């Protein structure tokens, strides 16, 4: 069997339509952006925009490439609440991962936090799916009643491809807070105790199973042959793990896109009294990703460049030559709250150390450094739990910037490895899952062995690394020192609730 795998990678800012050869080499890639609605704690996207972007991206692929598609894989952002009707239609805009309006619901759920962590391995937090679904149940009764299933972004697109409604994979389901990761089933008792109907939670499958076949209607829109097999697909973080070549806890990786995470692959939920890391199923539905997430990374970079009117290339040249510390500025990167390790949706960003002598480039540099320090904070949690790494594989859109990857290596004090397509980590993982689903490879490990090629290494610069080591303890004080201020501001700006 020869041909190509077509992948739809549904990110926070765009859908990437990517073609991979069976050897793992990327042959074509098109990115189609869409809008995100930001309103205080409410962050939403229109699921129909995902589908439209996928259509446009596919239509712009070469005809020769499209004729060689032997299967379709899908990756999508996780932790959402996407309401889908019986006919596969979107009921309302999706509450995406960074939506944090469900503070009241989280306060109610935290009364049973020990049980939730015991069965699911995740802390109750506004960023996860169950609090968002519970918010819809409590505040939008009509929406709830019209919803046939609560799914995530990749499930909506797969439904448009196959016509099959009401299925999801184990990776997305496990970041809901209501999947029992021991029985691998929805916890019906938990759901009914909240008044939620377990039947509105979709059927579970492995990411490497087939999710259907391309319908006549979808094939006409995309310009593809009817009947192409479509893999179930998975959440972007689960895809990125396998896309980085991770097989077990011996290796870890950092994926840096709009948000970022450091993750490894294990077999059980870690015992951490502070519940700082997340747990979710691998593409095989058996292994468990252990993950620490920084909520705002690439989005923070985009924000500062736009706000200050700076060109990305100019900033990246500055990063290559500038000395550590941004001329005395420290940046707390909590523009959308924080996940690991603090889990505080009320946290907000700040600049400390500003003076009249600093330039816009210094300010931008501090944002890049603040994000890097936050990732180091996550890496420290792994070390406390007994997992230490001399090197990390780096994937995600930001990984295309060698000047930033070098800065990150200096901050972390680790050798960083990049692959031949570092910006397509989650998309590549979706391709790996699809290769298994269509039978080209027997299992995930075989696919990784055949498709992953040699990595490039970036080592820390000793002088700059030592300077960052001096700054890092100061950065670590920012969150706790500013928490009372952020909490007070939150109360002022949210007097009418999180709606």
pLDDT digits (tens, 9 = 90+) for 126-140: 999 999 999 999 999
| 478 lies in some domain | no
Range of the domain at 194: 4-238
Please report, for residues 34, 37, 232, 452, the alpha-carbon distance to residue 155 in angstroms, rounded to integers and kept in the order given: 18, 21, 8, 27
CA distance 264 to 259: 17
User: What percentage of the chain has pLDDT greater than the value 70?
Assistant: 98
Please report, for residues 42, 107, 123, 437, the alpha-carbon distance to residue 340 in angstroms, rounded to integers and kept in the order given: 20, 18, 10, 33
Q: What's the DSSP call for residue 90?
A: B
Task: Please give the full DSSP string across 190-231, using - where no structure is assigned.
Answer: HHHHTT--GGGSPEEE-TTSEEEE--HHHHHHHT--TT-EEE
Highest mean pLDDT among 24-28, 124-128, 229-233: 229-233
Over range 22-26, report the average pLDDT: 89
Can you give 332-385 as a three-state secondary structure string?
ECCECEECCCCCECCCCCEEECCCCCCCHHHHHHHHHHHHHHHHHHHHHHHHHC
Over range 271-292, report the average pLDDT: 95
- Diameter of the chain by CA atoms? 64
For the chain, what is the domain count?
1
Q: Which residues pair with 415 in a beta bridge?
A: 391
**Residue pointed to by tokens 């939506």:** 99
Task: Find out whether 61 and 20 touch, Cβ atoms under 8 Å.
Answer: no
Confidence at 421, pLDDT banded by 50, 70, 90: low
CA distance 332 to 4: 43
Taking CB atoms within 8 Å and a gap of at least 24, the contacts of 19-22 are 19/61, 19/65, 19/69, 20/427, 20/428, 20/431, 22/435, 22/440, 22/451
Over range 189-214, report the average pLDDT: 98
Question: Quick one: CA dihedral 158, 159, 164, 168, positive or negative?
Answer: positive
* pLDDT tens-digit map of 469-483: 999 999 999 999 999
CA distance 126 to 106: 6
Please give the pLDDT value at position 375: 98
Length of the chain, in residues: 499
Please give the pLDDT value at position 452: 74
CA distance 463 to 179: 47
CA distance 108 to 138: 12
User: What percentage of the chain has pLDDT greater than the value 90?
Assistant: 88
SS3 label, residue 177: coil
* pLDDT tens-digit map of 443-465: 999 999 888 766 789 999 999 99
| 66 lies in some domain | yes
| 457 lies in some domain | no
183 burial type by CB count under 10 A (0-12 exposed, 13-18 middle, 19+ buried): exposed
Over range 236-240, report the average pLDDT: 94
| 211 lies in some domain | yes
Give the closest residue to 334 by CA, choosing from 491, 494, 479, 472.
479
| 489 lies in some domain | no
CATH number at 147 reads 3.30.420.40
Give the closest residue to 439 by CA, choosing from 208, 159, 205, 207.
208
Query: What residues contact 16, with CB distance under 8 A and at least 6 apart?
Result: 7, 8, 9, 29, 30, 31, 57, 424, 427
| 433 lies in some domain | no
| 44 lies in some domain | yes
CA distance 395 to 393: 7
pTM score above 0.85? yes
CA distance 115 to 128: 16
* pLDDT tens-digit map of 338-348: 999 999 989 99
Tokens (6 digits) for 34: 């869409």
| 456 lies in some domain | no
């Amino acid at each position: 069997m020869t041909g190509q795998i077509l992948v739809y990678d549904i990110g926070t800012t765009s859908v990437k339509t990517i073609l991979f050869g069976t050897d793992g080499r990327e042959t074509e890639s098109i990115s189609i952006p869409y809008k995100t609605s930001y309103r205080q704690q409410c962050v939403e996207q229109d699921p129909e925009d995902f589908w439209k972007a996928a259509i446009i991206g596919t239509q712009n692929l070469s005809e020769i490439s499209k004729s060689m598609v032997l299967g379709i894989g899908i990756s999508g952002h996780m932790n959402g609440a996407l309401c889908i009707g019986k006919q596969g239609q979107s009921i309302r805009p999706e509450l995406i991962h960074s939506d944090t309006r469900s503070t009241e619901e989280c306060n109610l759920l935290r009364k049973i936090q020990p049980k939730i962590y015991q069965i699911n391995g995740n802390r109750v937090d506004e960023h996860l799916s169950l609090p968002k679904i519970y918010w819809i149940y409590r505040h939008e009764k009509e929406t709830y009643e019209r919803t046939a299933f609560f799914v995530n972004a990749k499930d909506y697109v797969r439904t448009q491809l196959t016509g099959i409604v009401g299925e999801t994979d184990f990776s997305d389901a496990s970041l809901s807070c209501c999947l029992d990761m021991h029985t691998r089933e929805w916890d019906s008792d938990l759901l009914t105790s909240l008044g939620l109907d377990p039947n509105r939670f979709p059927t579970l499958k492995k990411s490497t199973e087939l999710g259907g076949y391309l319908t006549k209607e979808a094939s006409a829109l995309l310009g593809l042959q009817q009947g192409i097999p479509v893999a179930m697909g998975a959440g972007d973080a689960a895809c990125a793990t396998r896309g980085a070549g991770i097989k077990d806890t011996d290796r870890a990786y950092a994926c840096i896109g709009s948000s970022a995470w450091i993750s490894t692959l294990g077999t059980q939920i870690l015992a951490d009294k502070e519940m700082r890391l997340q747990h979710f199923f691998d593409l095989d539905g058996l292994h468990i990703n252990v993950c620490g997430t920084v909520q705002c990374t690439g989005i923070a970079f985009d924000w500062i460049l736009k706000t200050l009117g700076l060109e990305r290339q100019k900033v990246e040249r500055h990063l290559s030559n500038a000395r550590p510390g941004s001329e005395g500025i420290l940046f707390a990167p909590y523009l959308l709250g924080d996940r690991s390790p603090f889990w505080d949706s009320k946290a907000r960003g700040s600049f400390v150390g500003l003076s009249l002598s600093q330039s816009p480039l210094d300010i931008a540099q501090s944002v890049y450094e603040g994000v890097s320090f936050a990732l180091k904070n996550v890496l420290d949690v792994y070390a406390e739990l007994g997992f230490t790494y001399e090197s990390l594989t780096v994937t995600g859109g930001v990984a295309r910037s060698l000047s930033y990857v070098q800065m990150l290596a200096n901050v972390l004090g680790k050798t960083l490895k990049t692959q031949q397509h570092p910006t397509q980590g989650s998309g590549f993982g979706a391709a790996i899952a699809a290769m298994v689903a269509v039978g080209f490879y027997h299992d995930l490990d075989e696919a990784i062995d055949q498709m992953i090629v040699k990595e490039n290494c970036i080592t820390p610069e000793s002088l700059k690394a030592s300077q960052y080591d001096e700054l890092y303890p100061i950065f670590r004080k920012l969150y706790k020192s500013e928490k009372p201020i952020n909490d007070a501001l939150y109360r002022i700006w949210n007097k009418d609730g999180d709606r």
